Amino acid sequence: MKAVCVSSVNIHRGNLILVNENHPYQEEQDCSTLAPVGGNGISLFQCRRECMKNQIRMDRNATILLTALMEEIADWTKIVPVSGWRSREEQKSIYLDSIEKNGLAFTRRYVAKPGHSEHQTGLAIDLGLNQPNLDFIRPDFPYTGICQEFRSRAPLFGFIERYPAGKEAITGIGHEPWHFRYVGMPHAAIMQEMNFTLEEYIEFVKGFSMETGPFFYEKKGCIMLIHFIQLNDGAAKQVVVDPLMPYTLSGNNVDGVIVTQWRRN
């Protein structure tokens, strides 16, 4: 077996971090980890050299999976990226501008406060059906046609519809059919099957510690084992993993780290 050390710094990093009203984003996004979205022809080398203005970008791994999904169902002529990574300053500007134009009630429903927006993580993307007069705050992304095809296949590529209807009291954000969040596999598929928001999934996974045993999930001949490691006491811990099984670590941005291992059945 192999021992991996995790500490409080790991809580705030990874694909499964929960960013909402109660849990602000704790990191500052490094532009070198971002890549352009939408087939605009800008190289990763250019992206590393400077933080390009007016470019829609995401975390590099999320961009790769999003591109693969789009290549399966269509191209970027039918669905267009509307908003990806935002700096804290940009989020603040959008928030204040929305208050001025739309009022406080509307803004609280559809725009996260600076420091509390998933867009600052580089893991979120707003998409819209390509049509004239696309709304930046609430782009049209219907539950029909190419948009629904994207939505139904998104979990296979690690994406979830982050703010579904009927879950507003849990997420704290109004229904946003256009907002998708990269959480990775198998987590996106599990959330879809169990009708979980990210908030609900974070709580669900806490029930599977190293002591009580993992959550088992099987998909297409692959078995995934998911554990939760609590770290809210500030002390580092040793996580024992099977060296023959690939694994990933992700903080939940609350109180611990989620360990995911997988093997072929």
For the segment 100-118, the average pLDDT, to the nearest whole number, is 93
What is the value of pTM for the model shown?
Answer: 0.91
Burial of 106 (0-12, 13-18, 19+ CB in 10 A): middle
CA 66/CA 86 separation, integer angstroms: 18
Q: What percent of the chain has pLDDT over 90?
A: 75
Tokens of 247: 């694994």
Question: With bands split at pLDDT 50, 70 and 90, how would you rate the model's confidence at 104?
Answer: very high
Calculate the alpha carbon distances from 215 to 8, 157, 228 in Å. Answer: 23, 20, 9
Residue 227: pLDDT over 90: yes
Question: Cβ of 199: how many Cβ atoms within 10 Å?
Answer: 17
The better pLDDT of the pair 101, 30 is held by 101
pLDDT tens digits along 68-87: 999 999 878 899 999 999 99
Tokens 């611990």 appear where? Answer: 256
Residue 48: pLDDT over 50: no
Q: What is the pLDDT of residue 39?
A: 55
Q: What is the pLDDT of residue 40?
A: 45
Q: What is the pLDDT of residue 47?
A: 33
Question: With bands split at pLDDT 50, 70 and 90, how would you rate the model's confidence at 54?
Answer: low
Residue ranges of domains in the chain, CATH in brackets: 1-16+206-265 (3.30.200.180), 21-182 (3.30.1380.10)
Q: At what angle do helices 187-194 and 198-205 cross, to 10 degrees?
A: 100
Lowest mean pLDDT among 2-16, 34-48, 97-111: 34-48
For the segment 33-59, the average pLDDT, to the nearest whole number, is 60
Question: With bands split at pLDDT 50, 70 and 90, how would you rate the model's confidence at 20?
Answer: very high
For the segment 3-30, the average pLDDT, to the nearest whole number, is 92
Calculate the alpha carbon distances from 124 to 58, 81, 156, 220 in Å. Answer: 7, 11, 16, 27
> How many angstroms from the chain centroid is the CA of residue 26?
15
Coil, strand or helix at 100: helix
Question: With bands split at pLDDT 50, 70 and 90, how would you rate the model's confidence at 89?
Answer: very high
pLDDT, averaged across the chain: 90
Q: What is the pLDDT of residue 203?
A: 97
The better pLDDT of the pair 175, 232 is held by 175
Calculate the alpha carbon distances from 99 to 91, 95, 106, 114, 136 in Å. Answer: 12, 6, 8, 13, 14
Q: State the virtual CA torsion across 206, 207, 210, 211 in degrees, nearest 10.
A: 140
Beta strands in 44-158 (DSSP E): 57-59, 79-83, 124-129
For the segment 184-200, the average pLDDT, to the nearest whole number, is 97
Active site includes 176? Answer: yes
Q: What is the pLDDT of residue 42?
A: 33
Residue among 28, 161, 176, 218 flagged as catalytic: 176
CA 159/CA 189 separation, integer angstroms: 8
> How many angstroms from the chain centroid is the CA of residue 43?
23
